[in-house]
Amino acid sequence: MLKDNFYRDIASKTHPQETLVKTHCAYCGMQCGMNLRVNTGSNTIIGVEPRYDWPVTLGKMCPKGVTAYQQTNHNDRLLRPLIRDDASLKGTKEGFREASWEEAYELIVRKFKQLQGEYGKDALSVFSGVSMTNEKCYLTGKFARVALQTRYIDYNGRFCMSSAAAGFLRTFGVDRGSTLPWTDIHQTDCLFIAGSNTAECHPTSMFRVWEVQSRGGYLIVVDPRETPLARRADVHLDLRPGTDLAIANCMVNLLVRGGYADHKFIAAHTSGFDETLEVVKAFTPEYTSEITGVAPEKLIRAAEIFGKSPEAIVMFARGIEQQIKGADNVSAYTNMCLVTGKIGRPKSGVATLTGQGNGQGGREHGQKADLLPGYRKITNPKHVQEVCSVWGITPEEMPQPGVSAFEMFGLMEKKEIRGLYLLCSNPAVSAPDQNYVRAVLKDLDFMVCADFFLSESAEFADVILPSVTWSEDEGTVTNLEGRIIKINKAQEPLGESKPDWLIQVELAERLGRGQYFRHLQTASQVADEFRLATKGGYADYYGATWDKIDRQDGVFWPCRDETDEGTPYMFLDKRFYHPDGKAKVCALPYRPPAEEPCAEYPLRLTTGRVVYHYLSGNQTRRIPFLHDMCPEPYVEVHPELAETYGIHHEEVVRLFTRRGEGSYKVKITEAIRKDTVFVPYHYGHEQSINLLTIAALDPMSRMPEFKACAAQIEKLPQEAKVAGR
Ligand SMILES: Nc1nc2c(c(=O)[nH]1)N[C@H]1C(S)=C(S)[C@@H](COP(=O)(O)OP(=O)(O)OC[C@H]3O[C@@H](n4cnc5c(=O)[nH]c(N)nc54)[C@H](O)[C@@H]3O)O[C@H]1N2
Ligand SMILES: Nc1nc2c(c(=O)[nH]1)N[C@H]1C(S)=C(S)[C@@H](COP(=O)(O)OP(=O)(O)OC[C@H]3O[C@@H](n4cnc5c(=O)[nH]c(N)nc54)[C@H](O)[C@@H]3O)O[C@H]1N2
Ligand code: SF4
Ligand SMILES: [Mo]
Secondary structure (H, E, C), 271-304 = ECHHHHHHHHCCCCHHHHHHHHCCCHHHHHHHHH
- Per DSSP bridges, beta strands 603-608 and 218-222 are unpaired
pLDDT-wise least confident of 9-13, 280-284, 579-583, 709-713 = 9-13
- Is 245 found in the same domain as 392? no
Q: State the alpha helices, DSSP H only, in 630-718.
A: 639-645
Q: 236 in ligand 1 pocket by Cβ < 6 Å? A: no
Task: With cut-offs at 50, 70 and 90, classify the pLDDT of residue 5.
Answer: very low
**For 77-112, how does the pLDDT look when each residue is reduced to its tens digit (9 = 90+)?**
999 999 999 999 999 999 999 999 999 999 999 999
Asked if the structure places residue 214 within a domain, the reply is: yes
| Residue ending a domain, choose from 46, 71, 96 | 71
Triad 246, 252, 257: Cα angle to 5°: 120
**Angle of helix 296-308 relative to helix 326-340, nearest 10 degrees?**
50
Q: How far is the CA of 425 from the centre of ligand 2 (A)?
A: 5
In CATH, what number is assigned to the domain containing residue 663? 2.40.40.20
Asked if the structure places residue 239 within a domain, the reply is: yes
- Is 313 found in the same domain as 211? yes
| Residue ending a domain, choose from 71, 95, 122 | 71
User: For 252-257, what is the mean pLDDT?
Assistant: 98
Task: With cut-offs at 50, 70 and 90, classify the pLDDT of residue 2.
Answer: very low
From 695, 694, 663, 659, select the one nearest 679 (Cα to Cα): 663
End-to-end CA distance of the chain: 44
Position 552 pLDDT exceeds 90: yes
Alpha carbon distance 373, 385 (integer Å): 12
**For 231-247, how does the pLDDT look when each residue is reduced to its tens digit (9 = 90+)?**
999 999 999 999 999 99
From 26, 182, 622, 200, select the one nearest 34 (Cα to Cα): 26
- Per DSSP bridges, beta strands 82-84 and 371-372 are unpaired
Asked if the structure places residue 594 within a domain, the reply is: no
- Is 348 found in the same domain as 199? yes
Q: 450 in ligand 2 pocket by Cβ < 6 Å? A: yes
Q: 201 in ligand 1 pocket by Cβ < 6 Å? A: yes
Q: How far is the CA of 26 from the centre of ligand 3 (A)?
A: 8
Pocket perturbation via mutation, ligand 2, pick of 27, 425, 474, 688 by most ligand atoms within 8 A of CB = 425
Of all residues in the chain, what percent carry a pLDDT higher than 90?
Answer: 96
- Is 440 found in the same domain as 365? yes
The DSSP-derived string for 420-483 is: EEEES--HHHHSSSHHHHHHHHHT-SEEEEEESS--TTGGG-SEEEEB--GGGS-EEEE-TTSE
**For 58-73, how does the pLDDT look when each residue is reduced to its tens digit (9 = 90+)?**
999 999 999 999 999 9
Contact 466, 163 (CB under 8 A): no
Specify the number of domains making up the chain.
4
Q: 203 in ligand 3 pocket by Cβ < 6 Å? A: yes
In CATH, what number is assigned to the domain containing residue 14? 3.30.200.210
- Is 377 found in the same domain as 426? yes
Residue 460, domain extent? 82-158+358-470+499-515
The DSSP-derived string for 255-274 is: HHHTT---HHHHHHHEE-HH
Cβ neighbours of residue 327 under 8 Å, at least 6 residues apart?
A: 162, 163, 166, 167, 170, 321, 698, 700, 701, 703
Relative to the CA of 611, which ligand 1 atom is closest? 1
Q: 203 in ligand 1 pocket by Cβ < 6 Å? A: no
Asked if the structure places residue 504 within a domain, the reply is: yes
Task: State whether residue 724 is helix, strand or coil.
Answer: coil
Q: 695 in ligand 2 pocket by Cβ < 6 Å? A: no
- Per DSSP bridges, beta strands 661-668 and 634-637 are parallel
**For 385-439, how does the pLDDT look when each residue is reduced to its tens digit (9 = 90+)?**
999 999 999 999 999 999 999 999 999 999 999 999 999 999 999 999 999 999 9
**For 459-508, how does the pLDDT look when each residue is reduced to its tens digit (9 = 90+)?**
999 999 999 999 999 999 999 999 999 999 999 999 999 999 999 999 99
In CATH, what number is assigned to the domain containing residue 206? 3.40.228.10
Asked if the structure places residue 595 within a domain, the reply is: no
Contact 681, 607 (CB under 8 A): yes
In CATH, what number is assigned to the domain containing residue 465? 3.40.50.740
How many other C-beta atoms can be found within 10 angstroms of the C-beta atom of residue 410?
15
Task: State whether residue 327 is helix, strand or coil.
Answer: helix
Q: How far is the CA of 650 from the centre of ligand 4 (A)?
A: 29
- Is 57 found in the same domain as 191? no
Q: How far is the CA of 160 from the centre of ligand 4 (A)?
A: 4
**For 604-653, how does the pLDDT look when each residue is reduced to its tens digit (9 = 90+)?**
999 999 999 999 999 999 999 999 999 999 999 999 999 999 999 999 99
pLDDT of residue 720: 80
pLDDT of residue 13: 57
Alpha carbon distance 500, 504 (integer Å): 6
Task: State whether residue 60 is helix, strand or coil.
Answer: coil
Q: 164 in ligand 1 pocket by Cβ < 6 Å? A: no
Alpha carbon distance 715, 654 (integer Å): 6
In whole angstroms, how far apart are CA 679 and each of 562, 577, 607, 710? 48, 39, 5, 13
